[in-house]
Structure 1
Amino acid sequence: MNSADRNFFAYLDEMNIVTILLPHSYHHGISTTFYMAADSDKTPLVIVEKTEIEEHFKYICQFEGEISFGKLYWIFDEYGGKTDLQIGAVIRTEQFDEKFYYEGNDLGVTFQAGQTCFKLWAPTATGVKLKLRPSGNGYSEIIKMRREEYGVWSVSLHRELEFFQYSFLVLVNQEWREAVDPYAKAVTANGEQGVIVLLEKTARPRLGIPPLENPVDAIIYETHIRDFTIHPQSGVKHKGLYLGAGEMDTKGPDGDATGLSYVKDLGITHIEFLPLNDFAGVDELNPAKQYNWGYNPLHFHAPEGSYATNPSDPYSRINELKKLIDQIHSQGLGVIIDVVFNHVYIREQSSFEKIVPGYYFRHNDIGLPSNGTGVGNDIASERRMVRKFIVDCVRYWLEEYRVNGFRFDLMGILDVTTMNEVRKNCDSLAKGILIIGEGWNLNTPLPAAQKAIIANQAKIPEIGQFNDKFRDIIKGSTFNLFDKGYAIGNEHLVDAAIEVITGSIGFTKKSTRVFNTPQQSVNYVECHDNHTLWDKLNGCYSETDPAIRKKYHRLATAIVLLSQGIPFLHSGQEFFRTKQGDGNSYRSPDVINQLDWERKSKYKENVEYIKGLIKIRQEYSCFRMRTAEEICAHIQALSFPAPVAGCYYQLPKEEVVLVINPSTKTQMITLPEGEWGVLANHQFAKTTAKDFIKEPQYLVEPISLNVLLKK
């Protein structure tokens, strides 16, 4: 029934409530009786409220009995006029969620006893059909699906269907829509159709890595599949692709390592990739023409095709991504993937909205989609089948691709119950899986107490969060290019710096506490978002000698690596990565986003210094304490003339002093009693001490971090 044919509109807004809108132009918007009919059954509607809104009268009506979802209902008025009953806000009720929650693990395509089984959760649909097409240009076949319990539709076929393309045709509110399976494991180029593949054909021997003893033992290195190797001098054959990111023994023009071999040598423990599930923004058949970070999710279970050698072959992206992950594992490194469960690319075009309109997204008080993400839609993670989808998807990436962690984009949109379910599922499958996320408090219609945000860190204790307090105190505000943090010259932040260096656990005073344990604090001064640290320094110190800017940069990065918590580096940070001042390069060209391997050669000395700091962190457990109690018991803040900050670490097997001087002047300090060997200063960073200091006085060079080990 077209909207033009309807005299009025009717919506099922609760399990027993129908809302009817009669326009003034239709019998002046007045009717004293309504009833509902399906087949030969007639149910009277009781008007409980009538109000006038704009050009309509709105009737809230109640009825006895139960609606049979999957059946078409008609609403009649006293004049014999009729309209179809559309599915309205009922889908956002707790009763709907309870009635249609499906526990099965067989949504999408599964294989059983020679059959290919298709299942789709579409409780509000009155009809669902499977559309099948052989690969190539064969004719499509349309097959009716059968409605089962909990709103699941299914069909099983005794046929060999490998490489067949498929989609679902869904009839909701008398409108047919075509949608790709939300559980599709493989897709055609640009994600236009799902593809049936036999995943056992992509199976590889397991190459796991030993699990971390504690998240604070991780050192995360964030990069992007394409950025990592696309530079002309990367020495990589398959530039910008999964295979390229996994190539070993590649060299730049100076003969030194690039790519994965370089990262292994750097000493980090985990590579974190920006989204690599199927996303919009890059034409997979012409990937060189466009660039995108990947925060436009289309299909959550299928890998992105623009990183594959052949995006038209559904196996290419699966096999090549698995090979990449295995290559990284072979080097003893873990893989963290950036997952974007907070929104979809375009709500109206998403499979979620086509299959169960209105269910998967949050709506505000007036029924419009909310926009806490800033991209037009917020995923309603608190709904049971949305939560199930997220947990199922995480489980799939763990089991099928054997990743070692997840970074949740805009995690503050999601709810704490969902995040704890994710954590619980990960723990049931493997040890040492890292989960970190952006716990920003965004304007989405979810009660504050339910949001997976930093303020609720105690409710999600096993999940790390990006510490924006650390970032802003050490570097300065991300949103004000000229605001300076402690490490780049703000001498008023000594106490605040000590607080974040000791894990943001309330070390200096309880009121400053952000987290209960150091493993919750992901410490960083730079990531893919916003200006790189080098570009910020160019803004803050445009007239200053570049050598001074390098010192500030080195100091800020050093503080990240030696603070309590989980250190996080942006790829290229160790060689002063620049994006030429571009503060939002999500679709800027390769020349802006690429990892510049020539720059790595140019600043080799700084790379070596960062490598030394990484080794110091890994060698000395005082920089990787497990609990707030341990930190408070074994660290003492040293009293030095401002702006010098100092910490004294006293453990049974090691005594270490950390001294930071962010000023441009040399500072004289008095060390605790004893003989001290220098592990790191303004020139070098090593795990064995040299230059032993026997006198209590120590000269701290300008803009430097110093690590001293007691003999």
Structure 2
Amino acid sequence: MRKVDDTLPARRVFLGVLRIGPGRGPAAMTVPAKFDYSTGSPLPLGVHFQGTDANFALFSRHGSRVRLLLFADPSHTRPHQVIDLDPHHHRTGDIWHVAVHGAHRGLAYAFQVDGPHEPHLGHRFDPQAVLLDPYATALVTPEHWEFSGAAVGGPEGVVAKALVTADHFDWGHDRPLKHHWSELVIYEAHVRGLSIHPSSAVRHPGTYLGVIDKIPYFKRLGITALELMPLQAFNPYEVTRYNPVTGERLRNYWGYNTIAFQAPHAGYGTGAYPGCQVEEFKRMVKALHEADIEVLLDVVFNHTAEGDETGPILNFRGLDNSIYYLLEEDRRHYRNYSGCGNTVNCNHPVVRSYILDCLRYWVVEMHVDGFRFDLASILGRDRNGHLVPNPPLLELIAEDPILRDVKLIAEAWDAGGAYLVGRFPGERWCEWNGVYRDDVRRYWRGDPGMAGAFASRLCGSADIYEHSGKAPVNSINFVTCHDGFTLNDLVSYACKHNSANGEDNRDGSDHNFSANYGCEGPTGDHGINAVRRRQMKNLMASLLLSRGVPMILGGDEFCRTQRGNNNAYCQDNEISWFDWRLLDENRSFFEFVRKMIAFRARHPVLSREQFYRPEDILWFSPAGGQPDWQADAALGCCIRAVGGEEQPLCLLFNPTAEGLCFRLPDTLRGGVWIKAVDTAVESPCDICELEGGSPLPDQRRLFLPDRSLVVLVEGAATAAAARA
């Protein structure tokens, strides 16, 4: 064992000042010259108040010495007091614990842990490293943290610390919303990007409170769930590259490198006082719930910000490297199924318990409604990296009594080659349906032989999910998401344009199934722009007509662009930010999306939680016969709810570059066909607000221009004739 540096004794500082208090204004509190402490309790882990004492509990199996560092002020680098934990009195099993008397909310703390530094055995203890509590509920981090100041006493401000927080918050009557899956329309967004642009007109740009100011917009659009990209604490400054075009320093904008899994990112708080991000996050959730909008969090348990063996020591590596990570056989290197340098040892019992504790915290204390798990296939790998049939962690999450009602969404693949779409273990787990994305893109791009696949996606992907006992709502349908092109860019660029990322355009997917329709990027050509706008309508309408759960990428509804960048993870600038001026420029497309969401809500047959039966849907070719699924591209179908009172629908799709005449089927109830949606015409005639349109002049035939979609609704003959 290496000798611990004892140059940091418990310093006697006379009076320090801590700024604490809820968002109504911080208060000053004096700090004693030295805190008294006692043995404490091993449970629960993290920091919890027991009367006037704060109990600190930390897991480290192979550590031989633990020190608790207390800071008189969160901005201080050197600790106010260091408490050495005697293994004979402050250790129970693998848990180190101490009760600090008189500690209070707002107190900053960290740990140092000594133990064997034997990389060949998987141990990487460093007694100088300042370690964050894995159970920290708030962090205070340096303004420009470079992951370079691992040791206490370095340059002022380089050390990140945890904050002692309190659970009190006036939730009022707030409860989980528990929307049915069939009621969900998910909107994926980034907390900062949503409102940081000057055009957002919010009071607190780029923050949790900024999200609150956008709630009237969400209500107008009609979404029922907000899926937020990672907001657990991360370091925006860990990226060291520069934009080769502008010279701008790049940042970790997306946040997919978590540091503390129970701490809301401080950068999304207003900074009113240390730790304010906790209260402000709760205010955001409460306000969204009052608006009947669920909150889903994108969580990243597959890897951490510590990277590979050359990365920083932040917490897990310095607490017990061989427990928390999957290691190669040489024990020096990390298995990398995440593509980010390391892989969390998710199915170790200790790590399983930790992940479950984190999820419970977000549900019980922060009131979130569900989770989207990044690279979730990793959660099904055992300690040797092998996929197992019934992964203990996935079953534990699905069956946990506290998590029983929350929504669970898996990104059902990883960077190690595991692609489990349709095969992700457990009936409760829904999945991002990457097959849906690709097939719908290819169909509307005009790729040959895609009609059958498109029909399957529209019907809920029974070919993917039915064999495993799952339903259409297990499919999270999407055409675009944060990872890839925006909808506008999908129809404007044939190739990715990621040069601003500083990786010579090597990063990001090369398989986008996109098209530019005659010109790469923006153009003044009215013909090209008309085709692009029509294709965006086709893609969005298809999404909202499909069984399954639709997810819209935030900003797509007003044609947000990333200038052809399909991997904008490091672009904390106008490439990624929502430019709300586009809402005025593209108001007609916003209205189309809004009305399509409303159309879906008015026709529940589109979102039923069961697959269509043969008698519910009839497919036909433009000529009116049975489709040739290999040769035909254009398709039509009639949808009805057998035994229900819902209006029958007729959907017509023409992805070809030529206009086609469809022979229309007979109405199902003896009424007439009324056009409700037509992507080939200009706004506002492209969609009717309440299907109040006139009956088709010709009830037998309908011409569809190239690359267009039409939705017909059966109306009563007498009422329709009166409007004619």
Structure 1 length normalisation: TM-score?
0.76
Task: Kindly state the Cα deviation for residue 487 of structure 1 after the two structures are TM-superposed.
Answer: 1.5
SS of 1:691 mapped into structure 2? coil
Measure the CA separation in 1 of the matches of 2:393 and 2:42: 18
Aligned pair in 2 of structure 1 residues 296, 491: CA closer, same or farther (>3 Å)? same
SS of 1:130 mapped into structure 2? strand
- Name the structure 1 match of 2:56: 118
SS of 1:346 mapped into structure 2? coil
Contact between 1:184 and 1:194, CA under 8 Å: does it hold in 2? yes
1:670 paired with 2:663, answer: yes
Measure the CA separation in 2 of the matches of 1:218 and 1:304: 26
Task: Kindly state the Cα deviation for residue 692 of structure 1 after the two structures are TM-superposed.
Answer: 1.6
Measure the CA separation in 1 of the matches of 2:291 and 2:422: 37
SS of 2:455 mapped into structure 1? helix
The number of aligned residues is 574
Task: Kindly state the Cα deviation for residue 263 of structure 1 after the two structures are TM-superposed.
Answer: 1.6
Measure the CA separation in 2 of the matches of 1:105 and 1:429: 21
- Name the structure 2 match of 1:342: 302
1:129 paired with 2:97, answer: no
1:158 paired with 2:132, answer: no
Contact between 2:134 and 2:261, CA under 8 Å: does it hold in 1? yes
Task: Kindly state the Cα deviation for residue 224 of structure 1 after the two structures are TM-superposed.
Answer: 0.6
Measure the CA separation in 1 of the matches of 2:594 and 2:95: 54
Give the unaligned 5+ runs of structure 2: 4-40, 118-125, 143-158, 240-247, 381-390, 494-514, 520-526, 624-631, 680-685, 716-724
Alpha-carbon displacement from aligned partner over 1:422-481 (angstroms, at most 9, x marks no partner): 2333x63563x222121114328xxx7xxx932533x22211111111111111xxxxxx
- Name the structure 1 match of 2:393: 418
Task: Kindly state the Cα deviation for residue 236 of structure 1 after the two structures are TM-superposed.
Answer: 1.4
Measure the CA separation in 1 of the matches of 2:465 and 2:197: 47
SS of 1:168 mapped into structure 2? strand
- Name the structure 1 match of 2:637: 647
Select which of 363, 367, 370 maps to 1:402. 367
Contact between 2:397 and 2:403, CA under 8 Å: does it hold in 1? no
Select which of 569, 589, 599 maps to 1:616. 599
- Name the structure 2 match of 1:519: 473
1:208 paired with 2:163, answer: no
Aligned pair in 2 of structure 1 residues 397, 231: CA closer, same or farther (>3 Å)? same
Task: Kindly state the Cα deviation for residue 265 of structure 1 after the two structures are TM-superposed.
Answer: 0.4
Paired amino acid for 2:263: A
SS of 1:385 mapped into structure 2? helix
Measure the CA separation in 2 of the matches of 1:513 and 1:706: 32
Trace 1:355-366 onto structure 2 (pairs within 5 A): 355-366=319-330
Larger RCO (alpha carbons 8 Å, 6+ apart): 2
1:434 paired with 2:407, answer: yes
- Name the structure 2 match of 1:636: 618
Aligned pair in 2 of structure 1 residues 240, 586: CA closer, same or farther (>3 Å)? same
Aligned pair in 2 of structure 1 residues 149, 141: CA closer, same or farther (>3 Å)? closer
SS of 2:324 mapped into structure 1? coil
- Name the structure 1 match of 2:694: 691
Measure the CA separation in 1 of the matches of 2:584 and 2:482: 22
Measure the CA separation in 2 of the matches of 1:400 and 1:363: 33
Report the more deviating stretch, 570-579 or 645-654.
645-654
1:585 paired with 2:575, answer: no
Trace 1:483-562 onto structure 2 (pairs within 5 A): 485-506=442-463, 516-539=470-493, 540=515, 541-543=517-519, 545-562=528-545
- Name the structure 1 match of 2:84: 143
Paired amino acid for 2:369: N
SS of 2:408 mapped into structure 1? strand
Aligned pair in 2 of structure 1 residues 363, 289: CA closer, same or farther (>3 Å)? closer
Aligned pair in 2 of structure 1 residues 605, 168: CA closer, same or farther (>3 Å)? same
Trace 1:72-221 onto structure 2 (pairs within 5 A): 106-135=44-73, 137=76, 139-145=80-86, 146-173=89-116, 175-176=126-127, 177-190=129-142, 192-200=160-168, 202-208=169-175, 210-213=177-180, 215-221=181-187
Task: Kindly state the Cα deviation for residue 710 of structure 1 after the two structures are TM-superposed.
Answer: 2.1
Contact between 1:227 and 1:595, CA under 8 Å: does it hold in 2? yes
Contact between 2:203 and 2:210, CA under 8 Å: does it hold in 1? yes
Aligned pair in 2 of structure 1 residues 441, 309: CA closer, same or farther (>3 Å)? closer
Task: Kindly state the Cα deviation for residue 595 of structure 1 after the two structures are TM-superposed.
Answer: 0.9
Task: Kindly state the Cα deviation for residue 360 of structure 1 after the two structures are TM-superposed.
Answer: 0.8
- Name the structure 1 match of 2:416: 443
Measure the CA separation in 1 of the matches of 2:574 and 2:170: 36
Pick the structure with more helix per residue: 1
Task: Kindly state the Cα deviation for residue 404 of structure 1 after the two structures are TM-superposed.
Answer: 1.3
Select which of 258, 279, 282 maps to 1:297. 258
Task: Kindly state the Cα deviation for residue 271 of structure 1 after the two structures are TM-superposed.
Answer: 1.0
Task: Kindly state the Cα deviation for residue 104 of structure 1 after the two structures are TM-superposed.
Answer: 8.0
SS of 1:676 mapped into structure 2? strand
CA RMSD in angstroms, aligned pairs only: 2.7
Alpha-carbon displacement from aligned partner over 1:555-580 (angstroms, at most 9, x marks no partner): 01111111111101001111222101
Give the unaligned 5+ runs of structure 1: 4-102, 248-258, 476-484
SS of 2:287 mapped into structure 1? helix
Pick the structure with more strand per residue: 1
Aligned pair in 2 of structure 1 residues 295, 599: CA closer, same or farther (>3 Å)? same
Select which of 200, 203, 207 maps to 1:241. 207
Contact between 1:491 and 1:662, CA under 8 Å: does it hold in 2? no
Measure the CA separation in 1 of the matches of 2:294 and 2:282: 13
Paired amino acid for 1:113: G
- Name the structure 2 match of 1:23: none
- Name the structure 2 match of 1:378: 343
Paired amino acid for 1:207: D
Trace 1:447-486 onto structure 2 (pairs within 5 A): 453-454=420-421, 456-457=423-424, 459-475=425-441, 485-486=442-443
Q: Aligned residues: percent identity?
A: 27
SS of 2:439 mapped into structure 1? helix
Aligned pair in 2 of structure 1 residues 120, 220: CA closer, same or farther (>3 Å)? same
Contact between 1:134 and 1:163, CA under 8 Å: does it hold in 2? no
